[in-house]
Structures are given as C-alpha cells and as structure tokens.
Amino acid sequence: MRLPPLIVRWLGRVPYRDAAGLQERLVEAIRAGRSPDHLLLLEHEPVVTLGRSSHAGNLLLSPTELAARGIEVHESGRGGDVTFHGPGQLVGYPVIGIREDRRDLHRYLRDLEEALIRTAASFGIEATRSPGRTGIWVGDEKLAAIGVRVSTGWIAWHGFALNVGSDLAGFETIVPCGIADKGVTSIARLTGSSPDLREVAASAARHVADVLGFEPFASGVTGEGLAIPPPSPLSSPPRRAP
C-alpha cells in the first residue's frame, strides 16, 4: 500500500513568530484539504517559549533581562512547560492530519519519541524515555524536548527540539521543561563532534516519516531540499507505540 506523502522543508534559521505563523497557515490549508502534510525543520533565533503548563517560577530571568541577552519570550499553544530554542538546536514541526486509526495523543507523543531515539542512534547515541516525562534522555540529561498541539480535525502541530551543538547556555535562563533536578545535553557533548544541522535534519525526517507512516519528499523549493536517507532495517517497518 502506498504511504501518504510528507513534504519535508528545511527552512534554516527562522524567528519563532514567523515559524508559528507558517504553521498556522498550514493547519488551515491541511484542514481544508488544500495542502499535503508537512514536516518543517529549522533552527530558531534565541527564544524562550511558554507552553500551556508553564509556571512563572521556571523563568529565571525577567523578559527585560532576557531581551538584554538577545532572547525573545513567546507564549505558545503547545503542551508542556518552558523551554529554550536557539542556534545549534534542530527544531521539527510536523504539521499533519492524524489519521483516524492513529488518533491517540499518547501514541503520537510516544511515536515522536521513537523517531528521535532512532535519530540519536544514527549518531551513535543510545537515548531512552523517562517514565512519566515526555522527551528523550541520556542518563539524567534531556537530549530532546517534545511539545505538541492538536487542533480541530486532529491537525497536529508544534513538535520537537533536538539539541545538536555544544552551546547550551540558553538553558541556564530557565528551568527546562519545569524539571529542576535534571540537566540537558546535546549530540555534540555526547559524541565530541558536532554534525551539520542539515545532516541531523535529514536523519530526523526519515525517522519521523517512518514511524508516523509517511513517505518523505524533500521540498522542491530552492534551498529547502534535504538528502533524506533511504529506509533502514532500524526504521522499517514503523513500530506501534505502546
């Protein structure tokens, strides 16, 4: 059976507000049947985002102090608490219509975790889940955060942030995801080398598509294409989350 298409777009470095606006437009287009499903891959200018479960105490600096450091603050409609995005971090926004046989938010979150665990494995990292917490971990340090929103018609948006580069100083301005007794880490810190962000994006695109049951197609827009690797025994067939 032919899998539905997933249009993969590499957008480079994008301000948070612009990426949020693009997602909103895609949500409406997908709901109206005017667009295929998309996976947006990018990095953000420095920004702290506040999820629906955010607590004021998890923001360690005032908006004025953050602005002095060049860090914006934005509320978002995703689930979860406070997190940081910045250069050297791969952000992925699957904007997709969840098919009727997969309409289980718990399953969707576990599927995104599975895709990120497979992406980490492709760089020699054994990441795991942490019971009761969303995201993927290496020991007591978080490698990737996940926060999603599901709108009318089961259109999912927002997504994940995978730490790639070694500079994690932005996380010192917050209590990441509201978890005070855990740290954060990155591919660079775990492996001693920092892969090109587009390389990580291409790997993530393949694994997200495989786990969610899509066939990925690189965007045909100039500059947005990625060399998406073929399926591997690790990623095919997709695993059903528990």
> What is the set of active-site residues?
177
Q: How many helices (H) and strands (E) does the chain have?
A: 5, 12
Burial of 141 (0-12, 13-18, 19+ CB in 10 A): middle
**How far apart are the C-alpha atoms of 64 and 71, rounded to whole Å?**
9
How far is C-alpha 242 from the geometric centre of its chain's CA atoms? 21
Name residues whose C-beta falls within 8 Å of residue 104's C-beta, 6 or more positions apart in sequence. Answer: none
CB of 41 closer than 8 Å to CB of 11: yes
